[in-house]
Structure 1
Amino acid sequence: MDIKIINRSAHALPAYETEASAGMDLRADLIEPIMIAPMERKLIPTGLFMELPVGFEAQIRPRSGLALKHGISILNSPGTIDADYRGELKILLINLSTTEFEIGNGDRIAQMVISRHEQVNWEEVNILTETIRGAGGYGHTGL
C-alpha cells in the first residue's frame, strides 16, 4: 500500500526494521533535547505528516526497550491517528520511572502500525444472544 507522507525532519522515513516487523519506529524531531521528569508527560514532534487511506488508521505504540529499560511509555496507548488527520504526528510520552529521561533529536520514541478498520452501524435490540461466558468480565476465568 502506498501512503502519502511529508517529512519535515532531517531523519529517514519510518521503516520496518525486519522482514516480519509489524511496526515502524518513529523518531523525535527536536531542535534541542527534551527532559521528561518522573511522572511527567510531553508531546514530542516527529516532523511527519501523512495521508492515510479511508478505512485505515495508524496506531502509535510504546517501544518495548524504552519501556523496560527506562519506564518510558505512551499515554492513550495505542494512540490512533485517523485517516482524515493532516497535522504533524506527535507522540505523547510519559516517564513512569523515578529518574529524569532525556529525549534527543533522532531518538526512536515510538512504533507506528498501520491497520485496517471498519465502521459499524448500530442495530438497537432488547436482547443479546446468550453465550457460555455471558456477562463474565474482568478476572472471571481466574488468575
Structure 2
Amino acid sequence: MQIPVINRSRHPLPAYQTAHAAGLDVRANLTEPVTLKPLQRALIPTGLFMEIPVGYEVQVRPRSGLAYKHGITIVNSPGTIDADYRGELMVLLVNLSDTVFVVQDGERIAQLIVARHETITWELAEVLSETVRGAGGYGSTGVQ
C-alpha cells in the first residue's frame, strides 16, 4: 500500500525499525525542546501531512520504550487519523512519571499503524441474542 505524504520536517519519514515491526516510528519536529512536567500533556508536531485511503485509518500509539523508561504515553491511545483529515499529524503526549521529561527535535515519539476499518449502519432492534456472558461487564469474566 502506498500513502501520499508531505514531509515538512527535517527528519526521515516514519519507518519500521525491524523487518517484522507493525508500527512505523514517527519523530518530533520541534524548533525547540518541549518540557513535560509530571502529568503535563502537550501536542507535539511531526511536520507530516497524509492522504489516507478511504476505508483505512492511521492509529497513533505509544512507543513502549518511552512508556517503560520515562512514563511517556499518548493521552488518547490509540489516536485515530481519519481518511478525510489533511492537517499536520500531531501527537498528544503525556508524562505519567514523577520526573520532568524533555522531548527533543527528531526524537521518536510514537508509532503509526495503518488499519482497515468498516463503515456500518445501525439496525434498530428491540431484543439482542442471548450469550453466556449476557450483560456482565467490568470484571465479570474473572475468576469466581
With structure 1 as the length reference, what TM-score do the two structures score? 0.98
**1:120: which partner in 2?**
120
Partner of 1:33: 33
- The aligned length equals 143
**Unaligned 5+ residue runs, structure 1?**
none
- 1:64 aligned to 2:64? yes
Distance 1:128 1:20 in 2: 40
SS at match of 1:102: strand
Q: How does 1:1-143 map to 2 (within 5 A)?
A: 1-142=1-142
Q: TM-score if structure 2 supplies the norm length? A: 0.97
Please give the secondary structure, in 2, of the residue aligned with 1:47.
Answer: strand
- Residue 81 of structure 1: how far off its partner (Å): 0.3
Shift of residue 99, structure 1, vs aligned partner: 0.7
Task: String of CA shifts for 1:50-106, please: whole Å, max 9, x gaps.
Answer: 000000000000000100110001001000000000000000000001111000000
Separation of aligned partners in 1, 2:130 and 2:42: 45
Structure 1 residue ranges (4+ consecutive) displaced by more than 4 angstroms after TM superposition: none
Q: State how far apart, in whole Å, the 2-side matches of 1:25 and 1:2 are.
A: 17
**Unpaired runs of 5+ in structure 2?**
none
